[in-house]
Amino acid sequence: MDARTPWFGSQVKLLKGRDNIMRRSVSALVLLLFLSSTLSGCLSSNDTMTNDGEDDSGKTPSRGGGFFCIEHDGLERCWEKHVPENLDPDVPVPLVVDVHGYSSTSSTHKDLSGFNEIANSEGAIVVYPNGVLGKNLPTDLIENQAWNAGWCCAHASRDNIDDVGFITKIIEFTIEEENIDTNRIYASGWSNGCAMVQRLAMEMSHVFAATGCMSHYLVTDYVDDYSPIPVMEVHGFLDNVVLYETSLLSLPWAEEMWTNPESVDTGAIENMHEWASYNQCTGSMETFETNEFYMIQGFDECENDAIVRLMTIFAAQHNPYANDNADGTPGTQGLVKSSEVVWDFLIQHAKEDAVEN
């Protein structure tokens, strides 16, 4: 018997107890509100960002991999770049922007997502931006990195941090320094980072060929100059942080949404249908793949061939990656290699193809 079977069995038991989990949602929200008061708070433009556990002497952008920093919008903003050693400098390669989750860092996230390994085997460059440090509430004891994805999350949203502009700068620097195929620029990320990726998809559709991310939803408004691009979201059915049914538990990080029904209505299925509407998809939702571990659903007949996909991992919680997170949040133990599924989705699409169609 496969040594990983006990993990899957235990998760199936959790799946059977889903109704009990939902009955405890209100209690979980109260507990999360309490925890957020002790764990998260505010950032002024005069604060200096540091990167715990990393070399925070970041050098100015240059060719090759490394840790880099610039000043943007009055703040020091940093990121990591991974360039595989075996790349032919004369051949343009895809670029992936991989965005960490709330309270994480670029160095932690690159170990979680495994996109370095994908880049090494497939021939791509990956950049890992860092969010801005701050506190969710004035009473918080520690600072965490967050992203301004719209109404989430925390200080980054409240202080209207220009994360879209920062990531735009990273892409511009990388294109200047490396031989990037500008028709194949993609974005991925986790949790708050996934919400940020979907904001990038909405506001930078002229840049990104496709996006695919894990465990969050679009939490910003539609923009008039959006041009449909392919979008994929991966979500654990047992997610106890960003619920599969609703974004309710994100509310402690977005007080302005406490009375907004939109914050409660959005879930994985609703998010997929919302993107299908924005991408002018016709026809009914289809199921494209089903096995014992996950199901992939979505829409195929869309403007610009901007297909929409939702991958539901039945026994996954908030971390749908193959790897466990550094904080102990369990992944799928390798049973589902979601980053590879996302990569296979992304690499199908290029800007030049959309133009031709």
How does pLDDT run across 240-279, given as a tens digit for each residue? Answer: 999 998 766 655 555 665 556 565 567 999 999 999 999 9
Q: How many CB atoms lie within 10 A of CB 356?
A: 8
- Asked whether residue 302 carries a pLDDT value surpassing 60, the answer given is yes
Q: What is the pLDDT of residue 91?
A: 97
Q: What is the pLDDT of residue 258?
A: 54
CATH assignment of the domain containing 318: 3.40.50.1820
The structural domain count of the chain equals: 1
Average pLDDT, the chain: 83
**How does pLDDT run across 214-235, given as a tens digit for each residue?**
999 999 999 999 999 999 999 9
Global confidence as pTM: 0.82
Per the DSSP assignment, residues forming a β-bridge with 97 are 127, 187
The answer to whether residues 188 and 341 touch, using CB atoms and an 8 Å cutoff, is: no
The answer to whether residues 289 and 173 touch, using CB atoms and an 8 Å cutoff, is: no
Picking from 245, 282, 293, 289, the residue whose alpha carbon sits closest to that of residue 266 is: 245
**How does pLDDT run across 89-108, given as a tens digit for each residue?**
999 999 999 999 999 999 99
User: Which structural domain, as residue segments, surrounds residue 144?
Assistant: 5-356
Helical packing angle, 338-346 and 115-122, nearest 10°: 50
Under the banding of pLDDT at 50, 70 and 90, the label for residue 9 is very low
Q: What is the pLDDT of residue 293?
A: 98
With a CB cutoff of 8 Å and minimum separation 6, the contacts of 263 are 151, 219, 247, 248, 250, 251, 254, 257
